[in-house]
Amino acid sequence: MHGTFIDVEVSGAAASDPELARKLEEVCPVDIFAAAGGTVEIARENLDECVLCELCVEAAPRGTVVVRKLYDGTRLER
Amino acid sequence: MRFYEYESRRIVERAGIPVTDYGFATTAAEAGQAAERIGGPTVIKSQVLTGGRMKAGGVRFADSPEQAEADAAEILELEIGGHVPVGVLVDPKAEIEQEYYAAVLWDGRAKRPMMLFSDMGGIDIEQVAAEHPDHVGRGHLSNLHPIADFEAKQAVARCGMTGSALNRASAVLARLARLQRDYDMTLAEINPLARLADGSFVALDAHMEMEDEAVGRHKPMLHEIGVDLDEPRELYEPSEFERNVKAIDAADHRGVIQGKDHGFHGDLGLVIGAGGGSLTLTDAVRSQGGRPANYAEIGGNPSVAKSKGLAIEVLRKDGVEKIAVMMSIVSNTRVDIVARGVIKACLELGKDPAETIAIFRIPGAWEEEGYRILDRYGVEYCDRSVSMWEAAGRAVARVQGDRTGSQ
Ligand code: SF4
């Protein structure tokens, strides 16, 4: 389930990296990520609060985190 | 912030203005004791933050302490306009030679305090001003210079007073003016100000209103006169809309929202704000022939959830089919975040954002991103090149178009 405006994807292997989970939880200003049991969990109810700051994209290894803007189809990724 | 009469009396007394030997009581027994101490006939007055006390039976005259106690017992049980009294004021029944009116209020047009004095006190000052303009003396005060006694004297003299009465009344007005400035009162009024048989002046009733934003600065004085700052002082019972908006605001620290609908009965919901924009935009809607359903303030970068919460509450109001989302100046509030919030509100209520949002005009940060969202949902929007007045006109036209179409 995604938000009305925003979706966030974390690729399979990265999603179970406890270090990345901790980092994402720390950088996101609107609590979209939680490090639960060593894996990355996404708080779906907060997705639409995403401020498009790209901190998650920058904090994660290249190509592992993508923020999708559902209203125009563009993506934040590296 | 409004004050009860007994608190206003204490404020006036602190400023050195003579008052009667009054007593404040929260029980009938205390009222009886106060009447005993005062001696002679007394007046027992309900302490509520609303008018119409006399008509409702909240003011009684007692000839003895026993009667004062019995009257107080009844008054303390008497609800007036939905207000339960916090106590009663016990006042001596003064032997009055003449009643006067004295006030210092904030004149918003002149942006300065204004003194008002009349030798026809005890009645509505608007009525006196309309029917006997020569009995009302006025005078503006500087915001910067110290208040001089002669300025008060000029205002009092303008209603024809002379001699010792002029001197004594001027001293009261000058003190009232200093009180108004020192304590940031939007209104400091004594009505009636009485001249007694011995020529002295005493304040028989006082009405004070302090600028809400200044309350924090005057805590020592408020504490001294016994004001409980935790006690709500609303002039009316907040509506469900007002309570809900307040709760949404309190639950999330991001940004600020406010909503009022007391006295609003229109059909155009307002989600408006920024830098004084709420008042300007409400006026703009009215001057364009629209009927606002509420007053609102939104700003300081609210979250999507908070913006959505305000919009939902506005849209749930009876008779509201459309909302106008507008702000005045270019601010740091993110346009895309507010756009998400108001669109989400429409979607969650099963409404089409394009039909429901009559106009979206927020000049601010992330405008382009906001416009992409509004485009996606077909919402009509405009940028800062369209004035607030024009944007309000577009919103009103859409509501009125709907009404005409459905007739
Ligand atoms: S872009 Fe910023 S706000 Fe959005 S999910 Fe990433 S870190 Fe959170």
Any idea what the CATH number is for the domain that residue A46 is in? 3.30.70.20
Q: How far apart are CA B170 and CA B309, in angstroms?
A: 53
- CB atoms B340 and A48 under 8 Å: yes
**Chain B closest-CA separation from residue A73 CA (Å):** 10
Q: Does A43 fall in a domain?
A: yes
Q: What is the pLDDT of residues B251-310, one digit of tens each?
A: 999 999 999 998 898 999 999 988 778 888 999 999 999 999 999 999 989 999 999 999
ipTM for the complex? 0.96
pLDDT at res. B182: 94
Q: What is the CATH number of domain B21-92?
A: 3.30.1490.20
pLDDT for residue B235: 64
Residue B13 near residue B3, CB atoms below 8 Å: no
Cα separation, B364 vs B28, in Å, equals: 59
Give the CATH superfamily of B240-405.
Succinyl-CoA synthetase domains (3.40.50.261)
Ligand 1: which residues within 6 Å by Cβ? A 8, 27-30, 32, 50-56, 67
Q: Tens digits of per-residue pLDDT, B326-343? A: 998 777 899 999 999 999
Å between A75 CA and nearest CA of chain B: 13
pLDDT of residue B156: 95
Residue B15 confidence (pLDDT) above 90: yes
Does residue B350 contact residue A48 with C-beta atoms inside 8 Å? no
Interchain proximity B373–A30, CB inside 8 Å: no
What tens digit of pLDDT does each residue of A14-65 get? 888 999 999 999 999 999 999 988 899 999 999 999 999 999 999 999 999 9
Nearest residue (by CA) to ligand 1, atom 7, is: A28
Give the Å distances, CA to CA, from B177 to B5, B17, B182, B299, B335: 19, 11, 9, 35, 45
Assigned domain for A1 exists? no
**Residues 6 or more apart from A28 whose CB is under 8 A from it?**
A55, A56
Distance A27 CA to ligand 1 centre (A): 8
Sign of CA dihedral B192, B23, B217, B15: positive
The domain tally of chain A equals 1
Ligand 1 atom having least distance to the Cα of A8? 5
* CATH superfamily ID and name for B96-224: ATP-grasp fold, B domain (3.30.470.20)
In chain B, CATH 3.40.50.261 covers: 240-405
Report residue B47 as tokens.
Answer: 């302490």
